Amino acid sequence: MMEQARNQLIFALDVETLAEAETWVRRLRDRVGVFKVGKQLFTRCGPDAVRMIRDNGGRVFLDLKYHDIPNTVAGACREAGRLGVAMFTLHALGGGAMMAAAASALNEMFSSNPQQRPLALAVTVLTSMNEDSLREIGVSLPPAEIVPRLAALAQKAGMTGVVASPQETPVIRQTCGKDLIIVTPGVRPASAAADDQKRVATPYQAILSGADYLVVGRPISKASDPEAAVGGILEEMARAFADR
């Protein structure tokens, strides 16, 4: 269970430089299986950030949230595949055709080695959006209805999984079944501060309610003892895997 927890814990490398990122990867790689590269680090360092993690034995979650016309997103997915990332994100709001183009680009590219195919994860509705900000852009359904709808669309279009807050996980599981991978940020051990996360759950609650992977940043990076913080999270995850 501890090995499964390690493989399914993702540390968010929300830092400015490649050197800082590498320090974290070396420090945590024995305890954390996956490192998330987001828009800030990628815009600054580019594919070098991905290569650095791979060279240090880590798997990479490339969180660039692609959202464009199908042909462009398919091309970006192929490049993510070529870089050797383990998982990456795109926006379900790009639509079924965009997601299907992404899936078929990956299927074609990895037809002879499907176990190397990156997990394609759809972001449904950003957790920074609420009913008012959705109405502002012409979307009249509440998040509670759009989220499972977009998750189902993503699944139908061939996405491996979705990114979802702990609160959204149960309804997505209910709608999409057990095969869809759910990656959950907004995770806070009981002892940590919530920071700017509005809807949080403990690692134990998040896994128990159906998450497969957890994304954790500041509860580790800002802890006085980051290794101990990771240890506590892994222990909670392992306990939840055993209990569910």
Catalytic residue ranges: 65
Closest distance between ligand C5P and the C-beta of residue 6, in Å?
17
Of residues 105 and 123, the one with the C-beta less far from ligand C5P? 123
Instruction: Give the SS3 label for residue 219.
Output: helix
For residues 194 and 199, give the distance between their C-alpha atoms in angstroms, rounded to a whole number. Answer: 9
44 burial via Cβ count (<10 Å: 0-12, 13-18, 19+): middle
Site map (CB under 6 A) of ligand C5P, residues 97-136, x = contact: ------------------------------x---------
Does residue 62 belong to the site contacting ligand C5P (CB under 6 A)?
no
CB of 146 to ligand C5P, least distance (A): 14
Binding mask 185-214 for ligand C5P (x = CB under 6 A): xx--------x-x-----------------
* Apex 199 CA angle, 195 and 202, nearest 5: 80
For the chain, what is the total number of helices (H) and then of strands (E)? 12, 8
Tokens 């993690």, residue located: 53
Looking up tokens 């997103």 gives 73
Q: Two tokens at 12? A: 């968010």
Binding mask 157-186 for ligand C5P (x = CB under 6 A): ------x-x-------------------xx
**Which of the residues 24 through 43 are near ligand C5P (CB under 6 A)?**
38
> Which amino acid is located at 93 in the chain?
L
Using CB under 6 A as the criterion, which residues of the chain lie in contact with ligand C5P when the complex forms? Answer: 12, 14, 38, 127, 163, 165, 185-186, 195, 197, 215-219
